[in-house]
Amino acid sequence: MDVGILKTCGILILLLPAAGTVLVGALGRPVLRGRSHWPVILGVAGAVICSFVVLGQFGGVSGDEAHGDTQAVVSVYQWIATGAPETREAPAAWFNISFLFDPLTCVMLVTVTGVSLLVIIYSREYMRQHGHPERGYERFFAFLGLFVFSMCALVLSGNFLLLYLGWEAVGLCSYLLIGFYYGKPEAAAAAKKAFLVNRIGDFGFGLGILLIYLTFNTLDYQAVFGMVADRATASGAALTDGRITAIALLLFCGAVGKSAQIPLYVWLPDAMEGPSPVSALIHAATMVTAGVYMVARCGVIFTQSSLAMAVVASIGAVTALFAATIALTQHDMKRVLAYSTISQLGYMFLGLGVFAATSAIFHLFTHAFFKALLFLAAGSVMHAMGGVIDMRRFSGLRRIMPWTYRTFVIGGLALAGFPLLSGFWSKDEIIHAAMTRSPLLGAIGLLTAVMTAFYTFRMVFRAFHGAQRVPPGVHAHEAGKWILVPLCLLAVGAIGAGYVNVHIRGGGFLGFLEPGAAFESFLHPAVAPFASASHHASSEHGGGHMLMYLSGLLAVAGIGVAWWVYVRRPDLAGGLARMSPQAYDLSYNKYYVDEMYDAGVVKPLRGSGKLAFGIDEYVIDGLIWLVTAVPRLLAFGLKGLQSGSLQGYAVTMAAGFAIILLLVLWM
Amino acid sequence: MNEWILTFVIFSPVVGVVVLLLSNGSRPAQIRGTAFAFSLLTALLALVAAVMYYQSDGSASGGFALEQSVEWLPASLGGQRNIDVRYHVGVDGISLWLLLLTAFLGPLAIWASFTDIAERVKEYYALMLLLQAGMLGVFCAMDLLLFYVFFEFTLVPLYFLIGIWGGPEKRRAANKFFIYTLAGSVLTFAGVLFIAYFAYARSGTFTMDINTLTAMAHDSPVPRGVQWWLFLAFAAGFSIKVPLFPVHTWLPLAHTEAPTAGSVILAGILLKLGTYGFFRISLPMLPDGTIAFAPFMATLAVIGIIYGSLAAWVQRDIKKLVAYSSVAHLGFCMLGMFSLKMAGLSGSVMYMLNHGLSTGALFLVVGMVYERYHTRDIKAIGGLARPMPWLAFFLILFTLSSVGLPGLNGFVGEFMVLLGAATSQSTADGLPPGPLGYAYVIPAALGIILGAVYMFWMCQCVLFGPLKEPAHTPDMSRGLTRDLTLREIGILAPIAAACVIIGVWPKPVLKTLDSSIRANIAANYRDETVPDSGVETRWTEAVPESHRLDLFTDGSQADG
């Protein structure tokens, strides 16, 4: 491992996409116009290459803990002062721009840059109408470049402050891209909502970072994690359980916001107002997984607190189930996928919470492929339908768009957890870990898996099967190669990505496939705290592979039910809804959570704003008016005395003189 | 040259005023050009001063440099020449950056007035230059009387700027602004005289020299009980200027009614005179008073953060919204300052600079909208991003800077302020434990959420959604174009560049601040405190008999 190469790559991974953005920003409108995608594609492609170079640096030492250096920290420059005197033996007088490289970084970098590149290539065609660049074409690519920069900064960061920078910057890109069609009031509102809800999470996240600094007097990962592992603090006192739990929970607030978990998930469905490539990249494959990444990264902190782990696991499980129930009834394909993303992120947190960090990251990795694929394929449908994505308005598209159909089905099978596809392997590992930890959590995982299969194929059958029907005035067509090539590449990933963590062994699943392989041993050093804190160190499927057969069966069952309801007996679908109207309404209206937030938070706050302004206008200014009224009143009273008549003055003078005289004489 | 440079900086705008008034040309273009040229000259001289400061010894130690000291009001009490009021100017790392901010915003504010001001042009630019001179003077003054003179002098030009070129309620706004701030600073002046009197009591010289008084606080401090009263006296004037909750109510009106350039200067620099006053006078000269009142001041600051943000959110007038945001932002500034930690103190100055840049820029942007649409009602305009992409770019950038997005300038100050407040009790920075704690950070961090709420709400209303314009607009009669003109881009671009540079690479600023704060402020905070002579300490008891002023010897002391 060569630290010099790592440093160069780290800087290039950040600078190349950023340079693309600057170039498009400066030249896009006047010069490049329809070619504005090139600087960003090239910049991100460079970042992909650098990411693989970084991966290559770690390839040699993977799993070989004897070398001991599965981690490298490089510092680039000094950023913000801590206020500590530099001469002292303080940990650091500056917060640095520094990178931490380890297997987790590598996995994230490759995932992020790889999927980004495919999505950006896809956007080349998607962001055009009849071959002409859409309005704001260059802006779109500039923002995408900025996003890749921010996300890589988040992943590369070697300290909490740079993490926070990336964290906020991806939120900004999300804001800008959700609001890409800013002329639409819904898009503008959704963008704002996304940013603000994330800020609520970041409130906790920021407080957590400050508490870390207060406790450890540094924000560098290595130093902090080292001290946590030793249960030490900067002041020399022992680290208390309360403090570490507080830090973990505050950090988790940020993850809840960014990764759209209960109760802060409300922004993600609305975020679908953004263009489909944005939904695929930011709101499915990469940005929303930042919370999962952060918890995995801070494993040392989280695993020290059983309460925090329990919270992570239960929020994950509840979100997985809750979001799946909403996805059952939505008509907008992208919204179904959005709730499905929330649900899958719930799985990842469930995995983290039951100490199966490798499985969680593995699911993050496979999910990036199949969910990006589903969003992009849905985008392809939307492109062909002239911007319509409501499943009530089209059906039977499989003959018009055969390739989109095929890739969508592959993505759907992977999401549903159909045996042998990527989603199957990763989801099963999480359910397995949850089951060993707590049967209840495992059961929730399985229940969610059935629903996932059902709603995914409800979408497949409604959109692509049945009578061929398109919205009026739309000339439906299959997409061109710029869209189809990324779709096919992602489809290959959706099928095969799971096999990085499967090896062939007699007696495994179906007699020869055994989960837990290269991926797990590669990642292990980075998430070691989870494994060592957990009592069952590896995801060895000790109890046979019953669970794998069961979850495979459930996936097939869910698909089967969807087929029965939407293809075989289409009349059943409405009947189901009519059977339990309350439940259906509750799910269709997303449990009225948005309305509750509006009535419980937004309105009272605005009310207090009005109150504050009223206090300003009337109370404070009223008091000041009273103060100024004193001299005014005096003046008013004394005004009468200054009448201008000489006799009056003379009388007053005489009277005054008399009074003084009396006083002097008597005293 | 070294000792003259600050005088040149301060008085170059005054020369501009003289030139303006003497020239008999009345073409607006010529007047504007002259004023702009002189403000640029001032900026250039300030830049020269900055370079000189970095080459001087002062920059290494953090002390003052480029000093010039001339006898100003020599007088005597009881026969000796013991009243020593001087024209004494100089800068350290703290004031240098504020000086640069002033010199930087000045020309931009003047440039921004080119299309805005059509009547009484000559007077307008003369007043702008005078205002500039006054503010530069405050940041350079090293004598309290000189400080006070400049401090008060800034009121005069601004009073006329608001009162003549302001909006519909300009009279009321100008009067309220003037009397409100004057009322506070009268108490400040009493404080100035009082502390000078204490110096007289200690050393026999009635001095108002900031260096001497700062050193006095270190060597033979004023008794604690007296420090309390002095702190309150100074705080009366400075808090109103800042403005600190609950004495902020002059600000929304003044900001709203002032012409664009007036708002820019008011928000960008004049508010910093208050915080700078705390920094230069209260903190170093009255360490015990500061420690005693820090929790109180910080509580007011935190209330101001929440209160200002909430009030900003319900405004329909964009300018008022930005004005209330200043109340919230200056709350952060005060919070960091009273954490009395290096991070908080540096962060506070950083916050002053960043607020000057981002809020100044926001007022410029709002002014550009107003010039086109003649309304500042958020509900009357909408969807401007489509016809005005440049405006949208700048408004979003400065909004992000204002809400403290990491990577832009606002974050650096905000984070350091919160860090200082959170770690106030720790001693890792070499200073004794401060008076605040983590509890202050929680409401302040809530304020950050609210900050995003109202700023993004404003952006959404103004920039996004379907296009909405009042009838017969945009008004392009004064040579404006639909989107920003090159001149307007030229005004905003330097500020935008400064925002990005400070956000990414704040080290040059922070390094200078660090050494100066250590040398000139933190040095007065030691572990041992002044012996407590009790709140009841009467000021007369603290002064030796021999040094009491004999103003009333003939009369009142006779009946004792």
State the pLDDT at residue B555: 38
DSSP H or E stretch at residue B292: helix B287-313
Cα A118 from Cα A49, distance rounded (Å): 14
State the pLDDT at residue A544: 58
Mean pLDDT of A227-235: 86
Mean pLDDT of A161-186: 91
Mean pLDDT of B461-490: 87
Distance from CA of A606 to the nearest CA of B (A): 7
Give the pair of three-digit tokens for residue B460.
């959404």
Cβ pair B311:A616 closer than 8 A: yes
Cβ pair B429:A84 closer than 8 A: yes
ipTM of the complex: 0.89
A116-125, A269-278, B358-367, B468-477: least confidently modelled range: B468-477
Side chain identity, residue B132: Q
The residue of chain A nearest to residue B311, with distances taken between CA atoms, is: A609
Report whether B250 contacts B181 (CB < 8 A): yes
B468, β-bridge pairs: B382
Mean pLDDT of B24-51: 90
Q: Which residues of A touch B423 (CB under 8 A)?
A: 210, 213-214
Give the pair of three-digit tokens for residue A121.
């290539």
Residues 500-529 of B with CB under 8 A from A: 505-507, 510-511, 514, 518
Cβ pair A192:B460 closer than 8 A: yes
Q: Which of B132, B454, B368, B163 is nearest to B268 (CA)?
A: B132
Residue B535: inside a domain: no
Cβ pair B464:A610 closer than 8 A: no
State the pLDDT at residue A537: 44
State the pLDDT at residue A631: 83
Residues 6+ apart with CB under 8 A from B88: B67, B68, B69, B70, B141, B142, B143, B146, B209, B210
Nearest neighbour of B464 by CB, restricted to A79, A182, A611: A182
pLDDT, averaged across chain B: 87
Nearest neighbour of A196 by CB, restricted to B312, B438, B453: B453
Cβ pair A84:B415 closer than 8 A: no
A8-22, A339-353, A390-404: least confidently modelled range: A390-404
The residue of chain B nearest to residue A603, with distances taken between CA atoms, is: B314
Residues 44-103 of A with CB under 8 A from B: 77-85, 88, 90, 94
pLDDT digits (tens, 9 = 90+) for B338-348: 999 999 999 99
Nearest neighbour of A179 by CB, restricted to B418, B441, B464: B464
Residues 441-470 of A with CB under 8 A from B: none
A159, β-bridge pairs: A220
Judged by a CB distance cut-off of 8 A, whether residue B438 touches chain A is yes
Look at residue B274 and tell me whether its pLDDT is greater than 80.
yes
Judged by a CB distance cut-off of 8 A, whether residue B463 touches chain A is yes
Q: What are the distances in angstroms from CA B202 to CA B91, B168, B210, B231, B294?
A: 26, 53, 15, 19, 27
Mean pLDDT of A562-577: 79
Judged by a CB distance cut-off of 8 A, whether residue A610 touches chain B is yes
B377, β-bridge pairs: B317
Residue B554: inside a domain: no
Look at residue A488 and tell me whether its pLDDT is greater than 90.
yes
Q: What are the distances in angstroms from CA A62 to CA A57, A108, B109?
A: 10, 16, 60
Distance from CA of A22 to the nearest CA of B (A): 13
Side chain identity, residue A124: R
The residue of chain A nearest to residue B442, with distances taken between CA atoms, is: A207
Reported as a pLDDT band with limits 50, 70 and 90, residue B61 is: confident
Residue B66: inside a domain: yes
- Indicate which of B169, B179, B239, B249 best probes the interface with A, i.e. most A CBs within 10 Å of its own CB: B249
Q: Which of B158, B165, B166 is nearest to B182 (CA)?
A: B158
pLDDT digits (tens, 9 = 90+) for A380-393: 998 888 888 888 88
From its phi and psi, is residue B465 left (phi > 0), alpha (psi between -120 and 50) or beta?
left
Q: Which residues of A touch B328 (CB under 8 A)?
A: none
Side chain identity, residue A267: W
Cβ pair A185:B514 closer than 8 A: no
A41-55, A70-84, A504-518, B322-336: least confidently modelled range: A504-518
Residues 129-168 of A with CB under 8 A from B: 161, 164-165, 168
Higher pLDDT, A645 or B326: B326
Cα A434 from Cα A449, distance rounded (Å): 13
State the pLDDT at residue B80: 66
Q: Which segment, A81-95, A475-489, A611-625, B100-114, is predicted with the most confidence on average?
A: B100-114
Residue B261: inside a domain: yes
Distance from CA of A96 to the nearest CA of B (A): 11
| Percent of chain B scoring above 90 in pLDDT | 56
Q: Give me the long-range contacts of A594-598 (CB less than 8 A, separation at least 24).
A: A594/A266, A597/A266
Q: Which of B239, B249, B396, B405 is nearest to B324 (CA)?
A: B249
Judged by a CB distance cut-off of 8 A, whether residue B428 touches chain A is yes
Q: Which residues of B touch A219 (CB under 8 A)?
A: none
Number of domains forming the structure of chain B = 1
State the pLDDT at residue B36: 94
State the pLDDT at residue B535: 42
Looking at residue A64, the DSSP 8-state letter turns out to be -
pLDDT digits (tens, 9 = 90+) for A117-150: 999 999 998 888 877 888 888 899 999 999 999 9
Cα B447 from Cα B453, distance rounded (Å): 10
pLDDT digits (tens, 9 = 90+) for B289-302: 899 999 999 999 99
State the pLDDT at residue A302: 92
Strands (E), B135-270: 206-207
Distance from CA of A257 to the nearest CA of B (A): 13
Nearest neighbour of B446 by CB, restricted to A77, A203, A610: A203
Reported as a pLDDT band with limits 50, 70 and 90, residue A491 is: very high
Residue B541: inside a domain: no
State the pLDDT at residue B543: 55
pLDDT digits (tens, 9 = 90+) for B135-177: 999 999 999 999 999 999 999 999 999 999 988 889 999 998 9
Cα B204 from Cα B84, distance rounded (Å): 11
Q: Which residues of B touch A81 (CB under 8 A)?
A: 342-343, 346, 416, 506-507, 510-511, 514
Question: From the centroid of its chain, how far is CA B90?
Answer: 18
Question: From the centroid of its chain, how far is CA B64?
Answer: 19
Distance from CA of B306 to the nearest CA of A (A): 9
Cβ pair B310:A612 closer than 8 A: yes
Judged by a CB distance cut-off of 8 A, whether residue A639 touches chain B is no
Residues 524-543 of B with CB under 8 A from A: none
Give the pair of three-digit tokens for residue A315.
């929020």
User: Count of alpha carbons within 13 Å of A327, Cβ hemisphere only?
Assistant: 31
Judged by a CB distance cut-off of 8 A, whether residue B314 touches chain A is yes
Residues 316-375 of B with CB under 8 A from A: 341-346
Cα A346 from Cα A334, distance rounded (Å): 18
Nearest neighbour of A196 by CB, restricted to B445, B456, B463: B456
Write the DSSP assignment of A398-443 as a string of letters. Answer: TTTSHHHHHHHHHHHHHHHT-TTSHHHHHHHHHHHHHHHH-HHHHH
pLDDT digits (tens, 9 = 90+) for A30-61: 887 888 889 999 999 999 999 999 988 887 55
Nearest neighbour of A624 by CB, restricted to B249, B430, B510: B249
State the pLDDT at residue B79: 63
| Residue keyed to tokens 């640029």 | B40
From its phi and psi, is residue A417 left (phi > 0), alpha (psi between -120 and 50) or beta?
left
Reported as a pLDDT band with limits 50, 70 and 90, residue B357 is: very high
Peptide bond into B243 cis (omega under 30): yes
Reported as a pLDDT band with limits 50, 70 and 90, residue B549 is: low
Cβ pair B419:A94 closer than 8 A: no
Residue B532: inside a domain: no
Q: What pTM did the predictor assign?
A: 0.91
Residue B430: inside a domain: yes
Distance from CA of A81 to the nearest CA of B (A): 7
State the pLDDT at residue B150: 94
Looking at residue A63, the DSSP 8-state letter turns out to be T
Give the pair of three-digit tokens for residue A606.
């605005």
| Percent of chain A scoring above 70 in pLDDT | 95
Q: Which of B380, B347, B377, B155 is nearest to B266 (CA)?
A: B155
Residue B473: inside a domain: yes
State the pLDDT at residue B553: 44
* Residue range of the domain that includes B216: 5-524
Mean pLDDT of A625-633: 84
Cβ pair B422:A191 closer than 8 A: no
Cβ pair A80:B466 closer than 8 A: no
Q: Which of B73, B71, B80, B224 is nearest to B550 (CA)?
A: B80
CA-only gyration radius of chain A, Å: 31
